[in-house]
Amino acid sequence: MAQIINIAGAQAIDDPEYRYKMPRIVGKVEGRGNGIKTAIPNMVDVASSLHRPPGEVTKFFGCELGAQTTYNDDTERSIVNGAHETRVLQDKLSVYIEKFVLCPACKLPETSYKIKHEIIYHNCLACGAREPCDMQHKLTTYILKQHKIEKKAKAKDKKDKGKDKKSKKVLLAASAAPSDITGYAFWESSNTAVVSLTGAYVLEQLGMTAGQFIIIALLFVVCAIPGALASIKIADKEWLSLKSSVAGSLVLSSVCLFFVCAFVHSSETRGIIYAVVPFLGFANGWVYPAQRNLLVALIPGGCEAEMMGFFQFSAMSLSWAPSLVFLAMGESTGDYRFAILVLPIFWLGGLAVLYFTVDLDTGLAEVAATLDKRFKSGAAAPAAAPKAAPEKA
């Protein structure tokens, strides 16, 4: 292990409490004859202590010793052609520290380069000074060249990120997700309002008591459980496509309320509601897993947070509408019979958007190319995108 010494330039620093430390450089002569060379095995540690690139420090030795140098980033191997004693290398390193590491004002090794108009400045983090380097030294040519290479690389990375961002936006615009969000806003507004509006219908239109309503609400919730389980089973066995599964639940919900409007609209027929509510609850339980499967399938990899935010926003954007229309119709006519149809209108409106504007196959194909972005390093990415079951008539 290399000896730890104080970072010093032309003037040695003997203070044992000095906090700026570095390993003493190690030189190892290899080969013989014309192929003789000196390897510096701890170049990375030395350069890291000085907060400078190892290639730059290696190049400085070449400038000072008049020898060819190479530094390999992959192997972290630093080579100076010729045989050079460790003592000579350490002396040359002190010259490098004096010229390119220490602040000319406070002499502390807390500097970074600031390049402006082809002039290299020491930007000191300790005292705030900005002093020019010795631009007569050959190393400055190397530093300026590396700066240009890094600048081009950063510009390329920025451009690539811009392309990635643009491609992500194009993907979102081209995929089925935006249309699906629109349909989701319609049917989810009815899903969230179905219990409250059905309760208002039961109390106001059918004249049932609060106790009877509680029984109906409990029946609704209990029947939603097998609906959710059935939805999961349908997706697992691929009995229906993603789109058809959502459609089936929305159609069943709509049929239930059309039946209520037609046959359960007075105190004389209110007993039939107990036969309808289980089907309505089953449909409500069915729709939630079905719609989540559809939404997740259409989210491009890497866009999960943004898209789920859109889904949440869309769910709330129209949540007020069914209740407002229901109350407006009921209060204006004194009859809630047809007001209850606002729920199937929103369900079927969302279903129309789903079927006429969402190209599920195209959306899944676009998302398939991005699925690897959903997996962290060390986790195995899927070999292929999940397939939707074929559309059934």
Percent residues over pLDDT 70 in the chain: 89
What per-residue confidence (pLDDT) applies to 317? 85
Residue 127 dihedral angles phi and psi, to the nearest 5° = -110, -10
Alpha helices (H) along the chain: 43-50, 54-65, 86-100, 139-174, 177-204, 210-237, 242-263, 273-297, 304-317, 321-333, 342-357, 360-368
- Can you give the C-alpha Rg of the chain in angstroms? 36
Mean predicted confidence (pLDDT) in 349-364: 82
Q: Is residue 205 part of a domain?
A: yes
Q: What is the distance between the alpha carbons of residues 364 and 348, in angstroms, rounded to a whole number?
A: 24
Check which CATH number belongs to the domain holding 40 and give it: 3.30.30.170
Q: Which residues are paired to 131 by β-bridges? A: 122
How large is the average pLDDT for residues 149-173?
Answer: 68
* pLDDT score of 375: 52
Mark residue 334 as left, alpha or beta (left: phi above 0; alpha: psi -120 to 50; beta: remaining).
left
- Dihedral pair phi/psi, residue 72, rounded to 5°: -105, 115
Which pLDDT score, from 0 to 100, does residue 353 have? 86
Whether residues 146 and 177 share a domain: the answer is no
Q: Which domain holds residue 81?
A: 4-150
Q: Are 80 and 62 in contact (CB under 8 A)?
A: yes
Which residues share a beta bridge with 99? none
Q: pLDDT at position 378, please?
A: 41
Same domain for 189 and 282, yes or no, is yes
Dihedral sign from CA coordinates of 365, 370, 376, 381: positive
Q: Is the pLDDT of residue 82 over 60?
A: yes
Last residue of a domain, one of 102, 126, 150: 150
Same domain (yes/no): 196, 328: yes
Q: Are residues 203 and 101 in the same domain?
A: no
Q: Out of 77-81, 294-298, 367-371, give the one with best mean pLDDT.
A: 77-81
Output the six-digit token pair for 335: 């009859």
Same domain, 44 and 12: yes
pLDDT band at 59 (very low <50, low <70, confident <90, very high): very high
Inside any domain, residue 161: no
pLDDT at 137: 94
| Domain match, 30 and 63 both | yes
In this predicted structure, what is the pLDDT of residue 387? 47
User: Which residue in the block uniquely carries the two structure tokens 């390049």?
Assistant: 115
> Which among 338, 58, 290 has a CA at the least distance from the CA of 183?
290
Alpha carbon separation from 365 to 15, 174, 299 (Å, rounded): 67, 11, 11
Q: Which of 228, 193, 225 is nearest to 324 (CA)?
A: 193
CB atoms within 10 A of CB 177: 25
Angle at 25 between CA 24 and CA 26, to 5 degrees: 115
Confidence of residue 314 (pLDDT cuts 50, 70, 90): confident
Whether pLDDT at 377 is above 80: no
| pTM, two decimal places | 0.54
Reference 297, options 368, 194, 383, 391; nearest CA is 368
Burial of residue 273, with CB atoms counted within 10 A of its CB: 0-12 exposed, 13-18 middle, 19 or more buried? buried
Q: Are residues 134 and 260 in the same domain?
A: no
Q: Is 288 left (phi over 0), alpha (psi -120 to 50) or beta?
A: alpha
**CA pair distance 247, 360, nearest whole angstrom:** 13
Q: Is residue 369 part of a domain?
A: yes
392: in domain? no
Q: Which of these three, 116, 150, 184, is where a domain ends?
A: 150
CATH code for the domain of 205: 1.20.1250.20
Q: Which of 124, 150, 176 is the last residue of a domain?
A: 150
- Specify whether 26 is located in the same domain as 98: yes
Whole-number pLDDT of residue 381: 45
- 217 in a structural domain: yes
The Cα–Cα gap between 261 and 338 comes to 6
Task: Give the model's confidence band at 304: pLDDT under 50 very low, under 70 low, under 90 confident, else very high.
Answer: confident
Mean pLDDT of the chain: 86
Q: What is the rounded average pLDDT of the residues 215-239?
A: 94
pLDDT tens for each residue of 97-147: 999 999 999 999 999 999 998 999 999 999 999 999 999 999 999 999 999
Residues 142, 237 share a domain: no
Let me know whether 120 and 34 are in one domain. Answer: yes
- Alpha-carbon distance of 277 to 260, in angstroms, equals 10
Q: 326 and 280 share a domain?
A: yes
In the numeric block, the tokens 């106790």 are attached to: 211
Structural domain includes residue 46? yes
Residue 383: pLDDT band (50, 70, 90) is very low
Quick one: which H or E segment has residue 341? Answer: none
* pLDDT, tens digit, 9 for 90 and up, residues 6-18: 999 888 898 989 9
Candidate from 45-54, 166-175, 297-306, 310-319 with smallest mean pLDDT: 166-175
**DSSP per-residue string spanning 166-208:** HHHHHHHHHSSHHHHHHHHHHHHHHHHHHHHHHHHHHHHTS--
Do residue 139 and residue 173 come from a single domain? no
Q: What are phi and psi of 232, to 5 degrees?
A: -65, -40
Q: What are phi and psi of 251, to 5 degrees?
A: -65, -45
State the pLDDT at residue 262: 95
Domain count within the chain? 2
Domain membership of residue 126 (yes or no) is: yes
CB of 121 closer than 8 Å to CB of 131: yes
Six-digit token pair at 266? Answer: 């007075």
253 domain residue, yes or no: yes
